[in-house]
Amino acid sequence: MTSSDSRVALIDAARAEFVERGYGAASIRAIAQRAGMSLSALYYYYKGKQDLLVAILEDGLAEYFRFSEEALANAGDDPAEHLEALVSASIRFRVRHPAKSSIVATEARSLEPENLAAYERSEARGSQQFKDVIEAGVKIGLFQTPYPDDARRAVIAMCNAVAQWYRPGGELTEDMLIERYVSLALTVVEYRPRTTRRGVAG
């Protein structure tokens, strides 16, 4: 087992413990055991419990941004397509990594102040992506919601919630789920495709 494998095994174990019990109640001994290592080994790889939490949150956010940036890169330049990309990335992330997803939402309070700052910056960045897209759509009249901020929060909240109830293997596939949530998101922002122009053009 390489050094990198050990690190991964440890944050996987730590994440699982944190999700099951919460950061405060999780035991560093249980984490080491779950990762199949000695307690001392854990301290060789990570400075402590807080360090594990930071690593987990960083890893989770990095993974999310990998999803969202890839989706944005493959989307056209239309705000609706951008929103579709973001929702799609968000759902995909939460479906494929429910633990990574839920811990981000729950355990930020356990971050020590200096680590909290960095986390909040990242989170704001994620939120900003939605904000930019929705405002762009509103600006050109493509999204007609009178409450863009609330709409943004609603879309993010409903995507986040997926991690809490969706279990793969049912009859609802990931792609179907994404389709639905894209549709819901477009509804929320009151998407009105510009059929008139198209109509005029046709």
Partner DNA sequence: AATGAATGAGGGTTCATTCAT
Partner DNA sequence: AATGAATGAACCCTCATTCAT
Residues forming contacts to DNA in the complex (CB under 7 A) are 1, 3, 6, 26-30, 37-41, 43-45, 47-50
Q: DSSP 3-state assignment of 191?
A: strand
> With contact defined as beta carbons under 8 Å apart, do 28 and 113 qualify?
no
Secondary structure letter of residue 108 according to DSSP: G
Q: Is 6 in the site for its own copies (CB under 8 A)?
A: no
Q: Is 190 in the site for its own copies (CB under 8 A)?
A: yes
> Cβ closer to DNA: 47 or 125?
47
Q: Is 157 in the site for its own copies (CB under 8 A)?
A: yes
Which tokens in the block code for residue 72?
A: 């944005």
Distance, CA of 99 to chain centre: 10
* Alpha-carbon distances of 130 from 62, 69, 77, 144, 190, rounded to whole Å: 17, 12, 14, 15, 15
> With contact defined as beta carbons under 8 Å apart, do 116 and 76 qualify?
no
Q: Is 193 in the site for its own copies (CB under 8 A)?
A: no
Spell out, one character per residue from 117 to 156, where the chain touches its own copies: x when CB under 8 A holds, - when not. ----------------------------xxx--xx-xx-x
DSSP strand E in the chain: where? none
- Which positions ≥6 away from 95 have C-beta within 8 Å? 162, 163, 166, 168, 174, 177
Q: Which does 22 bind (CB under 5 to 8 A by kind): DNA, its own copies, none?
A: its own copies
Q: Got the DSSP string for 55-92?
A: HHHHHHHHHHHHHHHHHHHHS-SSHHHHHHHHHHHHHH
> Cβ closer to DNA: 3 or 196?
3
Q: Is 188 in the site for its own copies (CB under 8 A)?
A: yes
Given 29, 70, 76, 106, the residue binding its own copies (CB under 8 A): 106
Instruction: Find the binding residues for its own copies in span 83-102 (CB under 8 A).
Output: none
Q: Which does 28 bind (CB under 5 to 8 A by kind): DNA, its own copies, none?
A: DNA
> Cβ closer to its own copies: 39 or 66?
39
Residues that bind its own copies (CB under 8 A): 20-26, 106-107, 109-110, 145-147, 150-151, 153-154, 156-158, 160-162, 165, 180-181, 183-184, 187-188, 190
